[in-house]
Amino acid sequence: MIFLISSIAIFLLSALLALLFQEEQTKKSAALGGVMMGSLIGLIPAVRVLGGSGTIEDAWEGTLPGLTLRIGLDGLSAFFLLPILGLSALVACYAWGYLKGQKQLHATLPWFPLLVASMMGVVIAQDGFLFLIVWELMSLASFFLVTAEHERREVRHAGWVYLAATHLATAFLLVFFLLCFQQAGSFAFDDFATVPAWPFTGLLFCCALIGFCTKAGAFPLHIWLPHAHPAAPSYISALMSGVMIKTGIYGLLRACTFFPSPPLWCGELLVGVGVASAVLGVLYALMQHDLKKLLAYHSVENIGIILIGIGLGLIGRSQQYPLVEILGFGGALFHVVNHAMFKGLLFLGAGNILHATHRRRLDQLGGLIRRMPITGVTFLVAAAAICGLPPFNGFISEWLIYIGLFEGAKAFAQAPFFFAVVAIVGIAFAGGLAVTCFTKVVGGVFLGSPRVAWEQPVHEGRWQQSLPMGVLAFCCLLLGIAPQLLSPWLMTALAGLGVGTPVGEMAAPLATLWQLSCAVAIPIGLLAIGLLVRYWFIMSKRTRIAPTWDCGFAQPTPRMQYTAASYAEPLGTFFRFLLKPTIHFQKPEGTFPARASFEDHVDDLAERTLFGPLTQRIVRVLTWIRRRQRNQVPNYLAYIFATLLLLLLWEVWIGI
Amino acid sequence: MEWLLIGALLMAFATLGSARLGSCIRAVALQGACLSLAPLCTVGALADPHRLFLATASFLIKTVAIPALLFKSLRQAKIQQAVAPTISLHLSLLGGGGLLVGAFLAAGNFSLPTDPYPPLIVPVALAIIAVGFFLLIARTKAITQVIGFLVLENGVFLFGITLLGEFPLTVELGVFLDLLVGVFVMGIMIHHINRTFDHVDTKALTALKDSE
């Protein structure tokens, strides 16, 4: 307990110090040093709890009557605390190098420790009241971090979209927790879990789903992600995409512990949402030209995969197939950790690229692997991991979910069978498109030669930036080759989720995984040895550097290279009915064409058909009301008075 | 004890019914005095430091400091003495009577522990809060807004002192901070309005309406 409290105290203190100090260097040291120290201290109890030392709990009687604030750490909380604090420490280290010479970003530094503290608060809060408070704090802290470069118009727009989305989420969560409170008579999560029979489970589940999925970024509530991630500074994108959106997943899993036996349709709905997110997320990612926007859509895809896992677990629970339940939940939890690693790494890599070249558009980059080898290699590792390719960690978690789905398809009948098959097809489809998408990114950004001339020499980031990226890449590989390292912790987390008695059943799939990873790692290792031998062989010979055969092009220029957009174009054309791209195409004409251009642009389906028209209507109504407003202080007071009076009457004559 | 509460209630009506700002301020000051004496009229008050402190401090603030400040701003800003109601004084009094009836009806359904105060304190507090709000709505001058806010605060204070036994510090801090903050904000507002528009009518704030 003492470690938890002191960790939070360090975060708050460092936020305060960073606010007070004006001098840049001290400000940075206070914020980033505080985050690193607090994270490392906070990791101690998380590892202990996951190691099986039992749960920690504490409660404070508040000053308000009938209110007790409870914090605690059980298996589930500790399992989420691990990536949150781990990635925060690494991101703080990265930011140390990244922030050098970026004056405008220093002003928002005090929010950084506050964001980490509130994320930690979300997972250790053990009652609904405290949970809502830290949840709101987390939203506000991340809002201020997203709008760090508020001079730019699109950043402000992104900030507002995010703020609206996050308030929508909180509104639904407020309803959810109040309804729970009404049934249980207290805000404590333990009391929620002991309610014998929940009335209107459907309403509660839908409130939780909308609230948590908005934060997590599941389709069609994901619209804030592709706005906020490109707008935020890269180290914040890494933190938000890597772990902050996972607090939505945590909330969903926590809500699952309140309802011991959810109806079947809950799981099916989650699988449906998951498949939609995974497939549409990756399709939209494929059509993006902006590196960070593309990565944001990949977050939508990965959240979809996690949701499929959770939905599968719930279906397994209601159909009473413990193996399917364990594989579903286990795969989802494993993917949470994995996604934190590789998505964090990808955004940090994108940060390095942006820092070095000041460009985010894929069609303006190229040939970076020679100039930024560390970024290039770690980005490649992360890309392979996010595509679910062995021997990296993404493969392991997706594989667990696959096995669960196949087990489910074998065991289930009727509707659950249908959903299992749809999910298998969906994940496979998303996986294939993800590989296409990342070949496009790596090919466009790192291979070939630069498509435009850089303003200044492009070079690798500082060691503070390279170190955390190396650590993350190593972790991706380590968990891919030895996933059983994580399995005891996974078991503790699953026990916290209310599953996991038959531990032996999980051990068998994990054991096969290890063999599978080795089977892939050995050929790759042999290939690497072969390359080394070849390198050594070549080194001993005399070499000459000369141009390759250029197919008769006398004067090739970098602009002749195949671009990322043209790589994705066939798929975009194929899915035209769904993506509805806007195309501006000027064909080359005549014998000696002077100019020709091609440009395409994809609008988000949810934004185009759902949220765009919806906000338009709302704005119209609100404008109408505002025109009729007399804007006098007494009028507003009268509104307040009338509301209070109504509430009083309600309380007196009807009761809450 | 009851006569103090009834005095406070009457003073609330006096603020509703008086046509001049000066008498309004005096009524609020007197109401503050009634309220701050209330904790002293309970059994064993003189031995309880919390109640003693509350009584002295609230007397100093509610009866001495704030009315003095209000009179000073009245003189300095050369505010006209008329209260300028949007709802006429007679109608205001009638409305106040309605609110009083509503408060007593509503309070019948509460079962709050009011010990050591008489149970009358709950409807009186409710009525004073409602009258305060009514003043905020029915008067336009910024200084009457301050007075309405003070009446409102007095009602909240009455509710608060019933909780004194259980949460002494919270009540004390809450009461005084709220009051000070409120007066500060309103004071700045008056000052500001005086400087820019040369009069203290909140109607002038309408000029801030969003342009479309």
In order, the DSSP letters of A284-324 are: HHHT--BHHHHHHHHHHHHHHHHHHHHHHHHHHHHHT-HHH
- List residues in chain A touching B: CB distance below 8 A: 63, 65, 623, 626-627, 629-634, 637-638, 640-641, 644-645, 648-649, 652-653
Q: What is the pLDDT of residues A336-395, one digit of tens each?
A: 999 999 999 999 999 999 888 888 888 888 888 888 888 999 999 999 999 988 778 888
Closest residue on chain B to A634 (Cα): B137
Is A293 in the same domain as A252? no
Is A45 in the same domain as A179? yes
In B38-109, which ranges are continuous DSSP H helix?
A: 49-58, 66-76, 89-107
Note the pLDDT of residue A85.
Answer: 93
Mean pLDDT of A279-292: 89
Average pLDDT of chain B? Answer: 77
Compute, in degrees rounded to 10, the torsion defined by CA atoms A436, A438, A444, A445.
180
- List residues in chain B touching A: CB distance below 8 A: 86, 106, 109-110, 130, 133-134, 136-140, 145, 166-167, 170, 202-203, 205-206, 208-210, 212
Directed axis angle between helix A246-258 and helix A128-146, to 10°?
Answer: 170
Taking CB atoms and an 8 Å cut-off, how many pairs form between chains A and B? 46
Average pLDDT of chain A? Answer: 85
Note the pLDDT of residue A358.
Answer: 84
Which chain A residues are within 8 Å of B167, Cβ to Cβ? 63, 65
Q: How confident is the model at residue B198 (pLDDT cuts 50, 70, 90)?
A: very low
Distance CA A355, CA A349 (A): 10
Whether the CB-CB separation of A292 and A360 falls below 8 Å is answered with yes
Note the pLDDT of residue B212.
Answer: 43
Q: How far is A580 from chain B (nearest CA, A)?
A: 34
Per DSSP, the three-state class of B85 is strand
Note the pLDDT of residue B22.
Answer: 87
Is A299 in the same domain as A168? no
Note the pLDDT of residue B30.
Answer: 92
Q: What is the pLDDT of residues A583-603, one digit of tens each?
A: 888 888 888 887 888 777 888
Domain end, chosen from A511, A531, A551, is at: A531
Note the pLDDT of residue A505.
Answer: 60
- Whether residues B136 and A634 touch (CB distance < 8 A) is answered with yes
Q: How far is A9 from chain B (nearest CA, A)?
A: 24
Distance CA A80, CA A336 (A): 8
Whether the CB-CB separation of A291 and A441 falls below 8 Å is answered with yes
Supply the DSSP symbol for B205: G
Which chain A residues are within 8 Å of B86, Cβ to Cβ? 634
Mean pLDDT of A451-461: 80
Whether residue B44 is contained in a domain is answered as: yes
Mean pLDDT of A214-241: 89
Is A218 in the same domain as A82? yes
Note the pLDDT of residue B196.
Answer: 44
Q: What is the pLDDT of residues A116-143, one digit of tens each?
A: 999 999 999 888 888 999 999 999 999 9
Whether residue A588 is contained in a domain is answered as: no
- Whether residues A634 and B140 touch (CB distance < 8 A) is answered with yes
Whether residue B142 is contained in a domain is answered as: yes
Closest residue on chain B to A653 (Cα): B109
Which chain A residues are within 8 Å of B139, Cβ to Cβ? 634
Domains contained in chain A, number:
3
Looking at chain A, the whole-number percentage of residues with pLDDT higher than 90 is 29
| Residues spanned by the domain of B63 | 2-201
Q: Residue B192: pLDDT above 70?
A: no
- Whether residues A637 and B134 touch (CB distance < 8 A) is answered with no
Between B208 and A289, the more confident residue is A289
Sequence-ordered list of residues with C-beta below 8 angstroms from that of A548, at least 6 positions apart, any chain: none
Whether residue A540 is contained in a domain is answered as: no
Nearest CB partner across the interface for B106, out of A637, A640, A652: A652
Q: How confident is the model at residue B194 (pLDDT cuts 50, 70, 90)?
A: low
- Whether residues B145 and A633 touch (CB distance < 8 A) is answered with yes
Cβ-count burial A421-448 (b if 16+ within 10 Å, e if not): ebbbebbeebbebbbbbbbbbbbbbbbb
- Whether residues A626 and B210 touch (CB distance < 8 A) is answered with yes
Whether residue B121 is contained in a domain is answered as: yes
Which chain A residues are within 8 Å of B109, Cβ to Cβ? 652-653
Is A301 in the same domain as A388? yes
Nearest CB partner across the interface for B202, out of A626, A634, A652: A634
Domains contained in chain B, number:
1
Mean pLDDT of B100-112: 80
Residue A551, sorted as left (phi over 0), alpha (psi -120 to 50) or beta, turns out to be: left
Whether residue A560 is contained in a domain is answered as: no
Domain end, chosen from A231, A260, A289, is at: A260
Q: How confident is the model at residue A428 (pLDDT cuts 50, 70, 90)?
A: very high
Q: What is the pLDDT of residues A474-508, one digit of tens each?
A: 998 888 887 877 878 888 888 877 775 555 566 66
Q: Residue A656: pLDDT above 70?
A: no
Q: What is the pLDDT of residues A550-571, one digit of tens each?
A: 777 777 777 778 888 888 888 8
Token pair of A578, please? 């769904």
Is A296 in the same domain as A235? no
Q: Between β-strands A68-73 and A582-586, what pairing exists: parallel, antiparallel or unpaired?
A: unpaired
Nearest CB partner across the interface for B206, out of A631, A644, A653: A631
Mean pLDDT of B140-157: 81
Q: How far is A61 from chain B (nearest CA, A)?
A: 13
Closest residue on chain B to A629 (Cα): B209
Whether residue A335 is contained in a domain is answered as: yes
Closest residue on chain A to B108 (Cα): A652
Closest residue on chain A to B204 (Cα): A632
Note the pLDDT of residue A551.
Answer: 77
Whether residue A241 is contained in a domain is answered as: yes
Distance CA A476, CA A480 (A): 6
Is A502 in the same domain as A628? no
Amino acid of residue A172: F
Mutate to test the interface with B, among A619, A629, A637 (most CBs of B within 10 A): A637
Q: Which of A156, A283, A138 is nearest to A215 (CA)?
A: A138
| Residues spanned by the domain of A627 | 605-653
Which chain B residues are within 8 Å of A649, Cβ to Cβ? 106
Q: What is the pLDDT of residues A19-58, one digit of tens each?
A: 888 888 888 888 889 999 999 998 888 888 888 777 777 7
Distance CA A192, CA A171 (A): 20
Whether residue A624 is contained in a domain is answered as: yes
- Whether residues B137 and A627 touch (CB distance < 8 A) is answered with no
Is A196 in the same domain as A338? no
